[in-house]
Chain A
Amino acid sequence: MNKPIAGGAGSAARLEVVLPHPRATEPRRLTRFLENERALAALLLAPTVLVLGTFIAYPFIMGVWLALSSTSVGNVGEFVGMRNFAKAWNDSIFRTAFGNTFVYTFWATIFKLTLGMWLALLLNRHFRGKRIVRASMLLPFIVPTVLSTFAWRWMFDPTFSVLNWLLYRADLITTKLPFLSDGTYGMWCAIVVNTWRGMPFFAITLLAGLQTINPDLHEAASLDGANGWRRFWYVTWPLLKPVTLVVVVFSVIQTFSDFQLIYVLTGGGPANSTHLLATYAYQVGVATGLLGEGAAISLFMLPVLFVVVWLQLRYLRRMDGA
């Protein structure tokens, strides 16, 4: 964190010289108005509140109304209370999707975190071609998800899978592995693709965190006789914790409400075994046209996300305070 501040101080110093003169030309009243913290805050927040109010608050209220009504495509529904939620809860596919969402989020996050951390530690060392390796590691994060998932689907293709070919040639298998044609395999394939896509984000962000750690600390620790693992555990990890938590929060939010990846990879099949809440909500609400039920399924995500994020943020604040 030293770098930007140092740079900033420099530019501030330069700016001081230029500062005084524009004041004279500014209209007094506006200046006084803007000196008022409340007024300035209101002004600065106005665009955000306007955009989010129009494009989130209103649709959100509409969405909640949908979830409480029997609306289906082309038909105005009536208020049915919690019936859509009850129906979803008693639906076996919903329960599968609900469970899948947790499994998917949990494992994908664990993998992204451990692999991302490992990669960050590797990238934090000096070696030839460091810059190009760092930049290329970001590639999976950049390609539009839909398109990269198509590439994975092509690699997992039941008939033309290159992975099967490889394993077959290496005499590791005698029949093709059912990558996407079996529910369990399918779920793990989705987790692998999600990990592949999300790991670079972890790695780069953690790398950023690592670079702020003073190397002297490591030197001191190694002089004290700490080996690599202990150095990581007692020196690096505590300092990285805040960064890690923030990345995990973002990742959990994105993974929990993931849609594109499953939509392209399996479409929720075979036999609904790979549905996530988002894809199932989409199938019920948008494809089948039962808008009320679809909205109810989507809404199930909100409290869960809220609790997860709240816990993480609270932990973060407590650490900040300490």
Chain B
Amino acid sequence: MHPAPSVIIFTTFSGLGFGLLFWLGLGAIKPMGWGAFLWFFIAYAMAVGGLIASTFHLGHPERAIKAFSQWQTSWLSREGIAAVFTLVVMGIYALGALFGVHMGFTGFIGAIGCLATVFTTSMIYAQLKTVPRWRHWSTPAMFLLLSIGGGALFAGQVTVAIVLLLIAAVMQYFAWMSGDGRLSHSGTNLKTATGLGTIGEVRAFEPPHTGTNYLLKEFVHVVGRKHSAKLRQITLGLAFLAPILLLLLPFNHFFALLAVLCHVAGVLTLRWLFFAEAEHVVGLYYGKR
């Protein structure tokens, strides 16, 4: 799949923003007044900034309001509704905090909304039968772990962050290893794609056009796979290992900032790989994957 920057920025920063809002909503930290303004500003900047970034890849962003209508079947529509609901609820909670009122129940509802938003985001990818690597429970698990793990890191919840990032690292390793064989185990191959497998071995002989097209640009991306092993090591190091080590050191604001920056860079790499490595079955028709 084509790793579009807008979608990588969206999934990374929205995930972190809603993760931070989750911990704020649960009351893990209860900033008041100007402190609250700063915390909620950071969280909203990431969550809303990510959502805005996601509209950059749309052909017609001016019609985006229509995307709230098909929640009965569409995970993308559900995500939009969950995001707006959560941002409104957490907005009320943040307003209270700004004026020194802690509304525990509102925050709790907002925290649930954060999880729901991240889950619906992950289901946009996990629902796709056409991308076997994504169609697995580890996809929503990873989105949720990275969101609340990264959120805990931002919120300064040292112990929780270390535990969640450790689990996330193991889970991500599992997702990569199990995902590598999922296309070949999916049962979809050039034989079923063309229906010609009953005659014999099928080979793509000539593509429809000599040039490229939308399908090849969007769905067939091979550069990511070429450097997959290296990028996976970089991801594990930056997103998980470095932040955990920095958190284990005696607390210091500089180390905390470094941990956050490493984590963000790591998750950006992780998400780039998430898209770049994923194989869409339409590539089979072109003798590619």
Q: Tell me if chain B binds chain A.
A: no
B residues adjacent to A (C-beta < 8 A): none
